[in-house]
């Protein structure tokens, strides 16, 4: 008789075989005992001995190996009784259910999706320990190195067990200190701002950058390499990154050992064209580096992109730019020769998308500037990646090229990771225009994974109420048309006691239909139609007669048009680039109000440093309004002040009825702002920045004739000051102070201190 347990080695099995000895008698029958769940034919399929054959020692050992390799059995015994071979098995237990206890940071479905073990599968202690280790690894990736995982079982009937993982999540393993060794050219503080990993601080409660993540450290090495190469250190390398864990405090100490090397300058820079039909003048102006400038790898990359783009516009689809470097250690210069040659003729075979568990494939594919079968174009591919990132639906976007069995075709593998796109925000604050306020905003930017945008907001303030809800389909009718509907109800009180605007209240209720599309890359056009009901009331008895004549109910039916070109690096927080746009609004397609508004606006953003910490912006706008045969309402005219012209109260400049102090607005306006955004020495993740600004503008031509109207002239008014902005989790908050205010004496209403909350009101 031979007995073999799961824990016995093959040699022990051989000892049993030798001790008992195996007869060479022919086997007539084979029987299986002890199997309740595993059927006998299944067991027999692993036995390489048939009736009529002799069971040698080697055959018996092979049977043992095969049966234990199935993972179905905890124990196996084999006996030969004359011509009868008896196989006795003890089946492994079956997992009845899996439970997790003590986990709050990681949800059940997240853990269950990674452990690789399921109910109704075979239970073994080794599999349970392997699953526990996977859970530990998940907690380590989330920065909890002190997490303890203990697998336990509860016996059930019919050889089943409940597998329970008792989890002690422990505290987050923070990073106490980041140390740089060998950095002679840049301070440790400067390098700390370059990498993603951060030291633990009290204000990083919204961030996980101060938890230990080995994958992030690998990325930090690449960020440091890029930073040094962009500042001339072409030989830079990170010799080592060491993470030491303090077992007592459960904190990490990270040490980067750097080898900076010398600083290089650009030497001779030239372009060599190896395409016979390409005219040399088509690359004029594409080369950015100049001899004598500090070497910058980013300038080299930009030059390659500009060359590919410029040559591609000449009809050359398959172009390869090979920047050839020649280091000159004796002069510390790098010569570059951009060799333009015909690239491999490559076409797009397939575009595969993975990782989009929530977002539909169509939402991703419609952002592609390339299609299956198109010639490969690296510029279009990069633009595609930018468009996918601008959707703000994904934590990461990575497009890789993969070779195929066909030499002239490549597959594009798009790896994305969905991120939460819904938000619910509650906020409170104070505005110098509307007073104390509270707001709630709900927004889902990727509804049902189809890219739909659904939002609703409510704001209640001392002098204002605002309720909005809207829905936008960015790909209406399966085409690149952005169609939306917006419903609103708002009211606001204007009082000369608190601000410079007129003493009345206005209530608006209605809706807007909109349609937008791109005419070309970065150039968009939009159309809209608004139908609303206005109620103007709460007039003071001594209000201006121009206001009293306009109280009551009004129906406004207006169509709008816009044309906008946007070359900024971000539409939310731009740091470089420019924009320009025109707008038109025509009221009078029904209703009781008729006017035509035309406006123009433009702006440019200029960064002063490579990190874009210092940014100078200049923005201008102007507009003109015509009454189309009717007297325009004060509520429809242009007004400037508060947010739009800092240093003045809301509606603080322009025509004013001096008998009552009411501002009347104007039919023409202009405004210009020059602002320098600068750091305040605080960590970037706080989102707090400073600014120095100058606002200049004027509004005039009220359309009313009276000797009592003053300030009706285009003379510029200006406010000069400083401010602090905070991009808080509840929306942008700004505090501004303009000590230098230049207005029209006894007419304009100044307000040197101004607080703004949010950007929607």
332 plus 197 within the same structural domain = no
Question: Which of 64, 91, 118 lies at the terminal end of a domain, its last residue?
Answer: 91
Does residue 458 sit within a domain?
Answer: no
Q: How far apart are CA 634 and CA 627, in angstroms?
A: 12
Q: What band does 20 get if pLDDT is binned at 50, 70 and 90? A: very low
Average pLDDT over residues 107-114: 86
The DSSP H or E segment spanning 388 is helix 378-390
Strand partners, 750: 648
The predicted-structure confidence for 386-403, as pLDDT tens digits, reads as follows 888 878 888 888 888 888
pLDDT at position 672 is 97
Which has the higher per-residue pLDDT, 541 or 697?
697
User: Please, which residues have CB within 8 angstroms of residue 109's CB and are 6 or more apart in sequence?
Assistant: none
Does residue 390 sit within a domain?
Answer: yes
397 plus 373 within the same structural domain = yes
pLDDT over 90 at 598, yes or no: yes
pLDDT over 90 at 279, yes or no: no
pLDDT over 50 at 23, yes or no: no
Average pLDDT over residues 496-513: 70
Q: How far apart are CA 5 and CA 702, in angstroms?
A: 99
pLDDT at position 16 is 40
Across 51-60, 65-74, 462-471, the highest mean pLDDT is recorded for 462-471
Cβ distance 163 to 123 under 8 Å?
Answer: yes
pLDDT at position 496 is 46
Which has the higher per-residue pLDDT, 446 or 464?
446
106 plus 50 within the same structural domain = no
639 plus 666 within the same structural domain = yes
Q: DSSP letter at 139?
A: H
- Closest by CA to 635, choosing from 498, 562, 713, 539, is 539
Does residue 463 sit within a domain?
Answer: no
The dihedral of CA 163, 152, 112, 132: what is its sign? Answer: negative
pLDDT at position 502 is 45
569 plus 585 within the same structural domain = yes
The dihedral of CA 238, 239, 245, 249: what is its sign? Answer: negative
Q: Return the minimum-mean-pLDDT range out of 154-168, 417-431, 500-514, 667-681.
A: 417-431
The predicted-structure confidence for 407-433, as pLDDT tens digits, reads as follows 888 899 998 888 888 877 676 666 655
Strand partners, 84: 29, 81
pLDDT at position 484 is 95
pLDDT over 90 at 298, yes or no: no
pLDDT at position 434 is 65
Q: How far apart are CA 556 and CA 636, in angstroms?
A: 10
pLDDT at position 376 is 81
Joined tokens for residue 326: 């020649």
Cβ distance 122 to 71 under 8 Å?
Answer: yes
- Closest by CA to 175, choosing from 220, 216, 210, is 210
638 plus 753 within the same structural domain = yes
Across 35-39, 172-176, 580-584, the highest mean pLDDT is recorded for 580-584
pLDDT over 70 at 485, yes or no: yes
Expressed as residue numbers, the domain containing 159 is 94-168
Does residue 707 sit within a domain?
Answer: yes
pLDDT at position 499 is 43
Joined tokens for residue 638: 């242009």
* φ/ψ of residue 216, rounded to 5: -70, -35
The dihedral of CA 22, 28, 33, 37: what is its sign? Answer: positive
Q: What band does 557 get if pLDDT is binned at 50, 70 and 90? A: very high
**Cα angle 605-611-613, degrees, rounded to a multiple of 5:** 60
pLDDT over 80 at 541, yes or no: no
Question: Which of 342, 375, 406 lies at the terminal end of a domain, its last residue?
Answer: 342
Strand partners, 77: 3, 88
Average pLDDT over residues 642-649: 88
Q: Work out the burial of residue 9: count CB atoms within 10 Å of its CB; fewer than 13 is exposed, 13-18 middle, 19 or more buried.
A: exposed
* φ/ψ of residue 670, rounded to 5: -145, 155
pLDDT at position 646 is 92
pLDDT over 70 at 9, yes or no: no
Q: What band does 8 get if pLDDT is binned at 50, 70 and 90? A: very low
pLDDT at position 385 is 84
The predicted-structure confidence for 151-170, as pLDDT tens digits, reads as follows 998 988 878 889 999 999 88
Does residue 139 sit within a domain?
Answer: yes
Q: How far apart are CA 48 and CA 78, in angstroms?
A: 14
592 plus 712 within the same structural domain = yes
The predicted-structure confidence for 233-256, as pLDDT tens digits, reads as follows 999 999 999 988 877 767 889 999
| Average pLDDT score, the chain | 84
Across 124-128, 130-134, 304-308, the highest mean pLDDT is recorded for 130-134
Across 373-382, 537-546, 732-741, the highest mean pLDDT is recorded for 732-741
pLDDT at position 205 is 62
Q: How far apart are CA 358 and CA 393, in angstroms?
A: 10
pLDDT at position 495 is 57
pLDDT at position 759 is 44
Cβ distance 656 to 664 under 8 Å?
Answer: yes
728 plus 746 within the same structural domain = yes
Cβ distance 654 to 637 under 8 Å?
Answer: no
- Strand runs labelled E in 55-144: 73-81, 84-91, 94-101
Q: What band does 579 get if pLDDT is binned at 50, 70 and 90? A: very high
Does residue 451 sit within a domain?
Answer: no
Cβ distance 430 to 437 under 8 Å?
Answer: yes
The predicted-structure confidence for 369-385, as pLDDT tens digits, reads as follows 888 888 887 778 877 88
Cα separations (Å) of 67 from 53, 79, 392, 437, 493? Answer: 19, 15, 53, 73, 84
The residue count of the chain comes to 761
Q: What band does 758 get if pLDDT is binned at 50, 70 and 90? A: low
- Closest by CA to 731, choosing from 709, 758, 751, is 758
- Closest by CA to 699, choosing from 744, 660, 731, is 744
Q: How far apart are CA 755 and CA 286, in angstroms?
A: 45
Q: Helix H segments across 489-536?
A: none
Q: How far apart are CA 409 and CA 376, in angstroms?
A: 9
200 plus 216 within the same structural domain = yes
663 plus 557 within the same structural domain = yes
pTM of structure: 0.61
Q: 591's torsion region: left (phi>0), alpha (psi -120 to 50) or beta?
A: left
Average pLDDT over residues 244-272: 88
pLDDT at position 170 is 81
Half-sphere exposure of 704 (CA within 13 A, CB side): 26
* φ/ψ of residue 44, rounded to 5: -65, -25
Cα separations (Å) of 448 from 357, 391, 396, 473, 644? Answer: 11, 15, 20, 12, 38
Cα separations (Å) of 725 from 572, 691, 737? Answer: 14, 8, 12
Cβ distance 513 to 485 under 8 Å?
Answer: yes
The dihedral of CA 304, 305, 310, 311: what is its sign? Answer: positive
Buried b (16+ CB within 10 A) or exposed e, 166-186: ebebeebbbbbebebeebebb
The DSSP H or E segment spanning 193 is helix 188-194
pLDDT at position 424 is 75
Cβ distance 302 to 288 under 8 Å?
Answer: yes
The predicted-structure confidence for 169-204, as pLDDT tens digits, reads as follows 887 788 889 999 999 999 888 898 889 888 887 766
Does residue 160 sit within a domain?
Answer: yes
Q: What band does 497 get if pLDDT is binned at 50, 70 and 90? A: very low
Strand pairing class (577-587; 595-607): antiparallel
Does residue 225 sit within a domain?
Answer: yes
274 plus 325 within the same structural domain = yes
Which has the higher per-residue pLDDT, 599 or 446?
599
Average pLDDT over residues 710-729: 89
Q: What is the distance, to the nearest Å, from the Cα of residue 314 to the centroid of all Cα atoms in its chain? A: 35
Q: What is the distance, to the nearest Å, from the Cα of residue 639 to the centroid of all Cα atoms in its chain? A: 36
Q: For the chain, how many structural domains are there in total?
A: 6
First to last CA, the chain: 87
Average pLDDT over residues 557-585: 90
Buried b (16+ CB within 10 A) or exposed e, 284-298: eebbbbeeeeebbbe
pLDDT at position 498 is 42
Q: Work out the burial of residue 740: count CB atoms within 10 Å of its CB; fewer than 13 is exposed, 13-18 middle, 19 or more buried.
A: exposed
Joined tokens for residue 52: 């009529």
Q: How far apart are CA 394 and CA 556, in angstroms?
A: 41
Q: What percent of the chain has pLDDT over 70?
A: 91
Cβ distance 639 to 652 under 8 Å?
Answer: no
- Closest by CA to 693, choosing from 732, 740, 631, is 740
CATH at residue 36: 3.10.20.310
138 plus 204 within the same structural domain = no
The predicted-structure confidence for 617-635, as pLDDT tens digits, reads as follows 999 999 999 999 888 888 8
Question: Which of 418, 452, 476 lies at the terminal end of a domain, its last residue?
Answer: 418
């Amino acid at each position: 008789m031979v007995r073999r347990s799961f824990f016995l080695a093959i040699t022990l099995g051989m000892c049993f075989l030798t001790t008992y000895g195996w007869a060479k008698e022919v086997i007539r029958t084979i029987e299986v005992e002890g199997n309740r769940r595993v059927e006998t034919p299944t067991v027999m399929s692993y036995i390489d001995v048939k009736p009529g054959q002799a069971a040698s020692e080697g055959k018996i050992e092979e049977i043992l190996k095969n049966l234990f390799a199935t993972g179905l059995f905890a124990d196996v015994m084999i006996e030969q009784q004359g011509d009868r071979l008896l196989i006795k098995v003890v089946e492994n237990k079956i997992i009845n259910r899996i439970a997790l206890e003590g986990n709050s940071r990681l949800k059940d479905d997240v853990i269950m999706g990674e452990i690789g073990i399921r109910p109704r599968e075979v239970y073994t202690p080794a599999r349970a320990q392997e699953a526990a280790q996977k859970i530990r690894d998940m907690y380590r990736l989330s920065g909890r190195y002190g997490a303890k995982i203990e697998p336990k079982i509860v016996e059930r009937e019919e050889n089943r067990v409940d597998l329970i993982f008792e989890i002690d999540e422990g505290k987050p393993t923070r990073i106490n200190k980041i140390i740089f060794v060998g950095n002679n050219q840049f301070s440790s503080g400067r390098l700390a701002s370059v990498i993603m990993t951060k030291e633990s601080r009290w204000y990083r409660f919204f961030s996980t950058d101060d938890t230990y993540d080995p994958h992030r450290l690998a990325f930090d090495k690449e960020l440091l390499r890029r930073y040094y190469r962009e500042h001339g250190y072409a030989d830079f390398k990170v010799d080592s990154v060491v993470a030491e864990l303090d077992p007592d405090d459960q904190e990490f100490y990270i040490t980067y050992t750097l080898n900076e090397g010398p600083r290089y300058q650009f030497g001779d820079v030239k372009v060599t064209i190896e395409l016979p039909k390409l005219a040399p003048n088509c690359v004029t102006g594409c080369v950015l580096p100049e001899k004598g400038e500090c070497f910058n790898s980013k300038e080299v990359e930009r030059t390659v992109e500009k060359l590919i783009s410029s040559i591609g516009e000449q009809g050359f689809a398959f172009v390869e730019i090979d920047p050839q470097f020649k280091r000159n250690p004796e002069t510390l210069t790098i010569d570059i020769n951009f060799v333009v040659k015909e690239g491999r003729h490559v076409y797009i075979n397939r575009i595969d998308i993975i990782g989009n568990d929530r977002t539909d494939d169509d939402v991703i594919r419609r952002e592609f500037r390339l299609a299956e079968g198109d010639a490969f174009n690296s510029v279009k591919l990069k633009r595609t990646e930018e468009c996918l990132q601008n959707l703000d639906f994904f934590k990461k976007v990575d497009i890789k090229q993969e070779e195929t069995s066909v030499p002239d075709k490549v597959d594009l593998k798009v790896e994305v990771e969905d991120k939460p796109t819904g938000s619910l925000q509650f906020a409170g604050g104070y505005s110098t225009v509307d007073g104390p306020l509270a707001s709630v905003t709900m927004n889902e930017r990727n509804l049902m994974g189809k890219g739909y945008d659904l939002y609703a907001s409510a704001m209640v303030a001392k002098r204002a109420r605002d309720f909005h809800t809207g829905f936008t389909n960015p790909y209406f009718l399966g085409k690149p048309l952005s169609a939306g509907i917006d419903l609103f109800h708002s009211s606001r009180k204007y009082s000369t006691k608190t601000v410079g605007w007129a003493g009345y209240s206005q209530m608006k209720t209605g809706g807007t239909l909109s349609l937008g599309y791109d005419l070309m890359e970065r150039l968009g056009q939009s159309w809209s139609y608004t139908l609303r009901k206005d109620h103007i009331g709460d007039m003071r008895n001594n209000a201006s007669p121009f206001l009293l004549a306009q109280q009551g109910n009004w129906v406004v039916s207006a169509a709008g048009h816009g044309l906008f070109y946007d070359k900024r690096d971000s539409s939310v927080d731009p740091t470089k680039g420019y924009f320009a746009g025109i707008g038109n609004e025509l009221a009078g397609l029904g209703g009781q109000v008729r006017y035509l508004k035309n406006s123009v606006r433009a702006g440019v953003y200029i960064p002063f440093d490579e990190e874009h910490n210092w940014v100078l912006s200049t923005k201008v706008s102007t507009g003109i309004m015509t009454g189309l045969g009717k007297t325009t309402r004060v509520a429809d005219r242009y007004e400037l002040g508060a947010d739009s012209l800092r240093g003045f109260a809301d509606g603080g400049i322009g025509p004013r009825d001096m008998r009552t102090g009411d501002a009347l607005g104007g039919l023409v306006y202009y405004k210009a702002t020059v602002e320098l955004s600068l750091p305040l020495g605080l960590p970037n993740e706080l989102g707090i920045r400073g600014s120095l600004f100058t606002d200049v503008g004027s509004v005039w031509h009220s359309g009313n004739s009276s000797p009592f109207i003053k300030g009706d002239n285009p003379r510029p008014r200006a406010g000069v000051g400083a401010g602090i902005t905070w991009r808080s989790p509840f929306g942008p908050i700004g505090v501004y102070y303009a000590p230098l205010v230049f207005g029209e004496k006894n007419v304009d209403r100044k307000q040197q201190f101004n607080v703004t909350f949010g950007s929607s009101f």
